[in-house]
Amino acid sequence: MDKISELPQDILQRILYWLSQEDAVRTSVLSKSWRNIWCTRHNLHFSDAAFKGDMHQFLSIVNTTLQLYRDQGLCVDEFHVCMSVFSFDCASVSLVEEWVRTLTSMCVKKFCLCNLPKLPSVELPSVVFGAESLQDLHLEGFVLDRKAIERIVPLKNLTSLILQRVSIEEGIFEKIISCCPFIEILDIRVCTMLRKIIVKNLHNLKYFSFSDDVDHSHSFEEELCMVEIHTPSPETIYISEGNVWFHKGPDFFRNLKHLRLCLVKSSLEHLWSCKFPSLDSLILANCDGLKGIEVFIDAPNVTYFGYHGDFIPSISFSNTTSREWISDIDLTYDLSGDASCICRPRNIEEDPYGDKWERKRMERLWKILTERNITEEGRCSRGLWFQDLEEVRMEIYDDNRKEWSPTTLSELPTYNDHNRKERQEMSLMELPDYREYNPNDQWHPICLSRLRNENRRESIRFALKWIQD
């Protein structure tokens, strides 16, 4: 017998924890000692996609497995199920309700219940919010009405709540949140009926995320969800396609490290003169709430600022203690020469392997920077910062040698279709590194457009030196 098979059962269960459900089942053929280990591991993952449309077999397998655990008196710490169940399929809906009852009796801690149909129609069994043992709850594609919370109890162990494509109204949401006082992660994704969210009395909250999916072909000023945040403890706030209001107090943003606002229409004027002592990264993308206002950001420790939009906002920063910090300015129309109205960047990165229009834009920006060519149209916006620009250099970075060196336009690779094809065929091995948030790791925004294929390791930047530097 091999040494691994001689390990205690709890160690073998831990090994199987990291395997998919299918791979865990396959270990039953390794030896007699492995035959039934997969039936005792504490995490179960099921997806009807593995059953190629045979919904009857899928439901039967899940039901049989849960009965086996219950008969052995075993606990299930984690249960994940992804399926396609419709409200008219009464037998399937009834079976799902029975699963939830069984799992709550097994003291499940992490529970992910995902229903795939685009429009939620199946009501969530009320026993879900009666499971006091829950620590992590992810619900997708269900209807949460008053029946769903009629058995709700204080969920003092719940630290993470994710609601995705859930049909829920404001009053139901507030009731759920009031029973989850120790939440650390609150993630709300495309819950279209939810038009107002008030986050308060969540003193342990570290990560808050809201995202919606609004039809941009119509006027949607009144359709956007209003998000009000009164809790002064989040470290990360991400809001996309929603209006936002922050409680303004002297210490409200004291813990905030990462702030990302996308497609926010409401005015962001209340950010004026707020103090962000811990802020590390700030991203503002397509926020009409920046129009016609001035925003001063007091963030002495900021290391990253990103802006994307079709207008130049009036944003200024206090002096930072960071020796070097990154500013990414992405304007959707050709105002590259005006980018420094937002801040005085030390480096402007460009892509030498983009299409011919990117190449022309890069050449135009280089001409503006080196010739100080101020047209009447751009005199007001460019003239002020041109007089402080002392020196401009074009540099190329070789990732193999890990260094920047001077270069010129004539030395850059010429655009052709082959370059473009190579850019599109980037190595898929790099993609798993993309993530928005990992509760066990520091959150970092990662721009996929910066990924390089393995054959092209260079990057271009314009290095700017200002008189005040």
Q: Residue 453's pLDDT is what?
A: 35
Q: What percent of the chain has pLDDT over 70?
A: 71
pLDDT digit string (tens) for 118-169? 788 888 988 899 889 999 999 999 999 998 898 899 999 999 999 999 999 9
CB 303 within 8 A of CB 278: no
| pLDDT for position 113 | 93
Query: Is the model more confident about 468 or about 341?
Result: 468
Going by C-alpha positions, the residue among 139, 135, 45, 160 that lies closest to residue 438 is 160
Dihedral angle computed from the Cα positions of residues 278, 282, 287 and 292, in that order, rounded to the nearest 10 degrees: 70
Q: What is the model's pLDDT at position 217? A: 46
Residue 18: predicted pLDDT: 62
The predicted model gives 232-252 an average pLDDT of 85
pLDDT at 350: 66
Q: Out of 25-29, 144-148, 317-321, which region has the weakest mean confidence (pLDDT)?
A: 25-29
Q: From residue 55, give the alpha-carbon distance in Å to each of 64, 65, 67, 90, 347.
A: 14, 16, 18, 14, 56
205: pLDDT confidence band, cut at 50, 70 and 90? very high
Q: What is the mean pLDDT of the chain?
A: 77
pLDDT score of 353: 58
Can you tell me the distance from the alpha carbon of 97 to that of 391, in angstroms, rounded to the nearest whole number? 69
Give the end-to-end CA distance of the chain in Å, rounded to a whole number: 70
Residue 367 has pLDDT above 60, yes or no: yes
How far apart are alpha carbons 138 and 418 in whole angstroms? Answer: 44
Cβ neighbours for 8, distance < 8 A, ≥ 6 positions apart: none
Residue that has been written with the tokens 């094809």 in this structure: 421
Residue 326 has pLDDT above 60, yes or no: yes
pTM of the full structure:
0.72
Determine the average pLDDT of the residues in 70-98.
85
Q: What is the CA radius of gyration of the chain?
A: 27
Query: Which contiguous run of DSSP H or E holds residue 59?
Result: helix 55-72
Whole-angstrom distance, CA of residue 242 vs CA of residue 111: 28
pLDDT of residue 368: 74
pLDDT confidence of residue 378: 42
The helix (H) or strand (E) run that includes residue 177 is helix 170-178
What pLDDT does residue 343 have?
Answer: 58
- Average pLDDT estimate for 403-418: 73
* Token digits of residue 104: 């709550």
H helices, E strands: number in the chain: 8, 21
φ and ψ of 140, to 5 deg: -140, 130
pLDDT at 9: 66
pLDDT over 70 (residue 391): yes
Is it the case that residue 208 has pLDDT exceeding 90? Answer: yes
For residue 381, is pLDDT > 60?
no
Q: How much is the pLDDT for 190?
A: 92
Determine which of 218-232, 331-345, 424-438 has the lowest per-residue pLDDT on average: 424-438
- Among the residue ranges 220-229, 254-263, 346-355, the one predicted with the least confidence is 346-355
Q: Name the more confident of 271 and 79.
A: 79
What pLDDT shows up at residue 425?
39
Task: Return the pLDDT at 334.
Answer: 46
Alpha carbon 291 to its chain centroid, in Å, reads 25
- pLDDT at res. 82: 92
Q: 44 falls in which pLDDT band (50, 70, 90)? A: confident
How high is the pLDDT of residue 236?
A: 96
Alpha-carbon distances of 13 from 33, 304, 344, rounded to whole Å: 12, 42, 56
Residue 454: pLDDT over 80: no
Q: Where are the beta strands (DSSP E) in 116-271?
A: 136-140, 160-164, 185-189, 196-199, 207-211, 225-229, 236-240, 242-246, 258-262
Return the pLDDT at 332: 64
Of 467, 293, 332, residue with least CA distance to 390: 467
Whole-angstrom Cα distance, residue 94 to residue 123?
11
Distance (Å, rounded) from C-alpha 327 to C-alpha 462? Answer: 13
pLDDT > 90 fraction of the chain, expressed in percent and rounded: 25
